Amino acid sequence: MKADRNDAPDYITKHPRKSRRLAKLIPGLIGTVITLAVLQMAGSAFLQGTAQSIAEKRIQSKPVPLAEITRVAPVPTKDWDRVVEDVAARGDMAQPSTEKAQAPSSKQTVFSDANYIARGADNVLTLRKPPQLNEQLAPVIKKEITVVGQKPSMKDRACWPHKEGSLERRRCRSNIGLNYRD
């Protein structure tokens, strides 16, 4: 007796074997694992090479410069610190204080606990009124303005019967704006 394929029961023909799915999955997983291993080895070799080159660059000594460039310190036209100290010293002549007697006239360049001298606050707010500027305002000259009459635009002359803001008025104004330039 012979049997056709469509004579077989549904559970045999509709469901493929599970081993076939697993047979397709295993080579894919093996290929993925091998690819990841090769990429990991190549990446570590690359990073090791770059790390060694960076270390070698840091170890190398700097070359001796052929010439050294230095900038000359600009000479101030006026030593404003000295000017301020002189003015302050002249102002304190009437009332000598112990701080002014100890303060050196030159600027302190070396700082340590042994030679520390308190200077006081640098940003002191004075409550005196600033001097008022005596600017005279120029007198306002009155000018006569003459308005020259203009005729209304073509849009206003042609679209007056329509209500303000209506669609008809908008269409009328756009149509006239396209056809007549004034």
pLDDT digits (tens, 9 = 90+) for 30-77: 999 999 999 998 888 887 777 666 766 666 666 777 777 777 777 656
| Residue the block writes with tokens 């080579």 | 27
pTM over 0.85: no
More confident residue, 27 or 12: 27
Amino acid found at 70? T
* DSSP run (H or E) holding 104: none
* Whole-number pLDDT of residue 71: 76
Which pLDDT tens digit goes with each residue over 137-152? 777 788 888 878 888 8
Cα 64 from Cα 61, distance rounded (Å):
9
Cα 155 from Cα 112, distance rounded (Å):
85
More confident residue, 16 or 173: 173
* Whole-number pLDDT of residue 61: 65
DSSP, res 93: S
Q: How many residues does the chain have?
A: 182
The contacts of residue 105 (CB under 8 Å, 6+ apart) are: 82, 85
- Rounded to 5 degrees, φ, ψ at 166 are -80, 160
- In 3D space, the residue among 160, 51, 41, 100 whose CA is nearest the CA of residue 172 turns out to be 160
Which pLDDT tens digit goes with each residue over 73-110? 776 567 778 888 888 888 766 555 555 445 556 777 87
* Whole-number pLDDT of residue 13: 64
Checking if the pLDDT of 15 tops 70, the result is: no
* CA atoms within 13 Å, Cβ hemisphere of 53: 6
Checking if the pLDDT of 163 tops 60, the result is: yes
* Whole-number pLDDT of residue 37: 95
The contacts of residue 3 (CB under 8 Å, 6+ apart) are: none
Q: How many CB atoms lie within 10 A of CB 32?
A: 10
* Whole-number pLDDT of residue 103: 52
- In 3D space, the residue among 138, 59, 13, 178 whose CA is nearest the CA of residue 170 turns out to be 178
